[in-house]
Amino acid sequence: MQLLYQTHSPYARKALVFAHEAGLADRIEVVHHETSPTLRNETVYAQNPLGKVPVLIRPGQTPIFDSDVICAYLDTLHDGAPLIPRDGEARWHVLQLQALAQGLADFGIKVRWETVRRPEALRYEALRTGYTQKLIESYDWLERELDTDTAVHVGHIAVATALSWLEFRELPDFRAGRPRLSAWLDAFERRESMRATPLSGETQD
């Protein structure tokens, strides 16, 4: 398999960290592609009409895109304990964490647009403030609700890669006043899957 990837994408990193945690990384060739809303990448568009990474290319099968779907697919390919619980309350908790992490990355990107990426004259402070509040509320929820003492699952992977990216981009701080969340992320970032997938690079427009 081949993973169309970007070294500074929290979504792509989530898929690759998942592959490492599932013991599948050695079956995937990682190919870096630069994409942005203002930079059309024809190779990526040929596999994903959204023009975004990650995309998982499977020999003889259709491509799979969106990190959530890629993770769900990869979870069917290994023999270990599932990283996405199959049923019960554990499943809904894990999927909810994954959804919250998706929101963290989404709103972090929006804050960047209103802080550094959009031309200064076009930035909308009230919108940036609103997006930032969503991040802060989510940080507080994670400080209370994140299950820090259970086996690794896709929710942990999604939250860790989102928070790591927010810190990488120097977006609103999640550490101040949240010792439990901070300690958990520090420990998670020492995992081999995270150390093997460092963030790097700048968005190319």
Q: C-alpha angle with apex 33: 95 to 19, nearest 5 degrees?
A: 40
Q: Is there a single domain that holds both residue 110 and residue 186?
A: yes
Q: Is there a single domain that holds both residue 20 and residue 107?
A: no
Among candidate residues 11, 143, 148, 27, the one with its CA nearest the CA of residue 78: 27
Question: What is the CATH classification number for the domain harbouring 122?
Answer: 1.20.1050.10
pLDDT for position 204: 85
42 lies in some domain: yes
Q: Is there a single domain that holds both residue 122 and residue 57?
A: no
**What is the rounded distance in angstroms from the CA atom of residue 194 to the CA atom of residue 202?**
19
List, run by run, the mean pLDDT of 10-residue segments along the chain (205 residues).
98 98 98 94 97 97 98 98 96 98 98 96 97 98 96 98 98 97 98 98 88
End-to-end CA distance of the chain: 28
Q: Which domain holds residue 148?
A: 88-195
Q: Is there a single domain that holds both residue 116 and residue 191?
A: yes
Each as own residue / partner, the long-range contacts of residues 32-40 (CB below 8 Å, 24 or more positions apart, any chain) are: 32/5, 32/6, 32/7, 33/4, 33/5, 33/6, 34/6, 34/204, 35/6, 36/203, 36/204, 36/205, 38/205, 39/204, 39/205
pLDDT for position 205: 82
Q: What is the pTM of this model?
A: 0.97
Q: Is there a single domain that holds both residue 49 and residue 100?
A: no
Q: Is there a single domain that holds both residue 98 and residue 162?
A: yes
